[in-house]
Amino acid sequence: MSRSTKKDMLLQVAERLFYEHGFRGVGLKQIIREANVATMTLYNHFPSKNKLVEEVLKRREERYWSYLDSYIEKGSSSPFILAVEAHCRWLKEHSYKGDMFLRAIEDYTGIDDEIENIAREHKIRLLHYFQQLAQENWDNNPLDLANQLTLLLEGTTSMTTLIGADKAADYSIAMAKVLFQHTS
């Protein structure tokens, strides 16, 4: 296995384990074992567990935005509904047990500023994303709309742990459609 392949394997395994068991519920030995790499391989790429967590969060965020952007670029008269649908699809495929970024904020606030900042920036970026989308496609107050959509998606993400991703997605899409009927 090449150096970059081993690093990718470590990141994939770490993300899966952190998502399934939490950041504190997974040790480096388990990641090394499941990635089938030597201990030094992990430490050559990540000097600490926290550095591994940082990289996992960064890569997950990159995948999320790529996913969202590719879905919305398909074009529509309602990019907002497409954004909600894309987020819901992401939840079903990649985030059916809740939000890894919120977990990072919970686990690392006051412990590791870099991890906390990466997770908080993801949430801020979502709000800014909707602000920009609203400014480009909406005549009314774009900040209000951005806050409403961000709240809708964050609520949807949280509800996946309670009612499941399918039901949370169905409710979220229905709410988005109602929101845009009333604001049109």
pLDDT tens digit sequence for 56-110: 999 999 999 999 988 886 556 688 899 999 999 999 999 888 899 999 999 999 9
What is the separation of C-alpha 100 from the centre of its chain, rounded to a whole number of angstroms? 7
Give pTM, 2 decimals: 0.90
Report yes or no: 31 and 42 within 8 Å, Cβ to Cβ: yes
Are both 1-46 and 53-180 of the same fold?
A: no
CATH superfamily of 1-46: Homeodomain-like (1.10.10.60)
Question: Residue 182: is its pLDDT beyond 70?
Answer: no
Judging by beta carbons within 10 Å of its beta carbon (0-12, 13-18, 19+), is residue 121 exposed, middle or buried?
A: middle
Q: Give domain limits for the chain.
A: 1-46, 53-180
Kindly report the CATH class assigned to 53-180.
mainly alpha
Q: Where is average pLDDT lowest: 9-13, 26-30, 153-157, 179-183?
A: 179-183
- Sign of the C-alpha dihedral computed for residues 72, 78, 80 and 83 taken in this order: negative
Question: Residue 136: is its pLDDT beyond 90?
Answer: no
